Amino acid sequence: MDLSHPLATLLSAADAGALAVLAATETPLTGRRVAELAGERSHSSTLRALNRLADQGVVHVQQAGRAKLYVLNRAHVLAPAILEIAASATTIRSRVAQTIADWQVQSLHASVYGSSARGQAHAGSDLDILVVRPDRLDAEAQSIWEAQLVSLEEDVFEWTGNPLSWLETTRADLKRAKAAGEPIFQSWQDDAILLAGRPISALLRSSSGNKRSA
């Protein structure tokens, strides 16, 4: 699925863009403003999409002088589905976060980074997740840890059709990446969306890891 524009998984780009904009506000907007917020270069394609949606009753059209204003008809039988699909990126993150929170062997940190975190993912994108493992794991805990990662990979693919791409690291490696000024470390600090555990900055200030639970 398109992780940043989930409505585009099912609809044309113009329809998906218009609905995503209207789903995010209850304020009536001009067609030109809808096109701008949707990032559409063609104002006319957005207007055609809005008029198609209005013909189906999904969008209400209001006259304001010479201008027409468009607003999502939230009483429409399809509106709940539209709103749920539009919010599915948040739903996916919530599912992943809840799964990680329920892990038997807890991570020190987990976050979404990369294109998904920046809202630039597309239908072919991976869901990139940074996970910081506990400082010390015995053989049993290591086996449980690895099974947790594999299980969530399978779940994410089932939920979305997109691969989950892990970047598994340790607190010591994070410190080395920071000291070396590695660009990906800056990306984690700037873009990452925390799912579980402690923020990277707090994790690096700490001197000892979480104890494992098994």
Q: How far apart (Å, rounded) are the C-alpha atoms in residues 206 and 214?
A: 22
Helix (H, G, I), strand (E, B) or coil at 121: coil
Confidence of residue 207 (pLDDT cuts 50, 70, 90): low
What are the Cα distances from residue 75, in Å, to 32, 60, 83, 88, 190?
24, 10, 12, 20, 39
pLDDT of residue 99 exceeding 90: yes
- The pLDDT, as a whole number, for residue 41 is 82
Question: Which tens digit of pLDDT belongs to each residue from 120-162?
Answer: 888 889 999 999 999 899 999 999 999 999 999 999 999 999 9
- The pLDDT, as a whole number, for residue 189 is 86
User: With contact defined as beta carbons under 8 Å apart, do 50 and 59 qualify?
Assistant: yes
The rounded radius of gyration (Å) of the Cα atoms in the chain is 21
pLDDT of residue 212 exceeding 60: no
- The pLDDT, as a whole number, for residue 205 is 84
The contacts of residue 47 (CB under 8 Å, 6+ apart) are: 31, 35
User: With contact defined as beta carbons under 8 Å apart, do 18 and 38 qualify?
Assistant: yes
Question: Which tens digit of pLDDT belongs to each residue from 25-83?
Answer: 999 999 999 999 999 888 899 999 999 999 999 999 999 999 999 999 999 999 999 99
User: With contact defined as beta carbons under 8 Å apart, do 161 and 74 qualify?
Assistant: no
Q: How far apart (Å, rounded) are the C-alpha atoms in residues 1 and 86?
A: 12
Tokens of 185: 């470390």
Name the phi and psi angles at 17, rounded to 5: -65, -45
- The pLDDT, as a whole number, for residue 123 is 87
- The pLDDT, as a whole number, for residue 152 is 98
Confidence of residue 91 (pLDDT cuts 50, 70, 90): very high
- The pLDDT, as a whole number, for residue 124 is 86
- The pLDDT, as a whole number, for residue 20 is 97
Helix (H, G, I), strand (E, B) or coil at 1: coil
- Domains and their CATH numbers in the chain: 6-85 (1.10.10.10), 89-205 (3.30.460.10)
Q: Which helix (H) or strand (E) holds 30?
A: strand 29-30
Greater confidence (4 vs 213) lies with 4
C-alpha dihedral sign at 160, 39, 94, 103: positive
Confidence of residue 209 (pLDDT cuts 50, 70, 90): very low
Q: Give the type of residue at 51.
A: N
Q: How far apart (Å, rounded) are the C-alpha atoms in residues 100 and 106?
A: 7
